[in-house]
Amino acid sequence: MQESELIAALKAGRESAFRMLVETYQDKVYHIALVIVQQPQEAEDIAQEVFIEVYQTVRQFREEARLTTWLYRITTSKALAHHRKRKAQKRFSILTSLFGLNNEVLHHPPDFHHPGVSLEQNEEMKMLFKAIDKLADTQKVAFILHYIDEQSHREIAEVMEVSVSAVESLLHRAKQNLRKQLTPYYKERSNP
């Protein structure tokens, strides 16, 4: 089914079209959310929220961008909002634990494991994902969409609603920041 036919079927409220959309894009949506929030259950919740929003708002989709662009825009927006909310809650829990309310467990995030990472790479990937998490949101989204989801600069520009040169700049700064963060880790590993 062509994208235009899928959009028309979605706008007509056909359940089969919505099922096809979910089956086609659920893994991509989940993996983008997972890299941003780094918690599998939260990424699953976000993926569900994304498809619910698409179902509820597809009639307002103006088709000025591709359907996938719109879907990724919703995904990154929701994932970043969840991530910011969790960070704010984490900061609050750290502050409250300082005052003796015993919330210490809340500020020790669980180990993050991405489903596509082998056991041997797990240590390195943990460090990479921690470093990605420290990037500015715009750098994080550009980096994830390009290096993890393998989207072109043009596709990322559409998702982020910026120019291609802005995407190139974000990717350059993201790589520089990751290099700064990860260099000590790799020096330490090469000099035991």
Q: What is the pLDDT of residues 66-105, one digit of tens each?
A: 999 999 999 999 999 988 877 655 544 443 444 444 444 4
Residues 52 and 84 placed together within one structural domain of the fold: yes
CATH classification at residue 132: 1.10.10.10
Query: Is the model's pTM score more than 0.95?
Result: no
Residues 102 and 155 placed together within one structural domain of the fold: no
Q: In 3D, which of 90, 3, 1, 4 has the Cα closest to residue 42?
A: 90
Token pair 């390009």: residue: 146
pLDDT of residue 133: 85
* Whole-number Cα distances in Å, 80 to 5, 36, 43: 31, 7, 11
Q: Under a CB-based contact definition with an 8 Å cutoff, are residues 46 and 82 in contact?
A: yes
Identify the domain boundary among 55, 76, 110: 110
- Give residue 82's domain range: 1-110
What is the number of structural domains in the chain?
A: 2
Q: Under a CB-based contact definition with an 8 Å cutoff, are residues 132 and 144 in contact?
A: yes
Residues 64 and 139 placed together within one structural domain of the fold: no
Residues 137 and 72 placed together within one structural domain of the fold: no
CA distance 62 to 169: 29
What does the block give as tokens for 184? 């000590």
What does the block give as tokens for 83? 């991530």
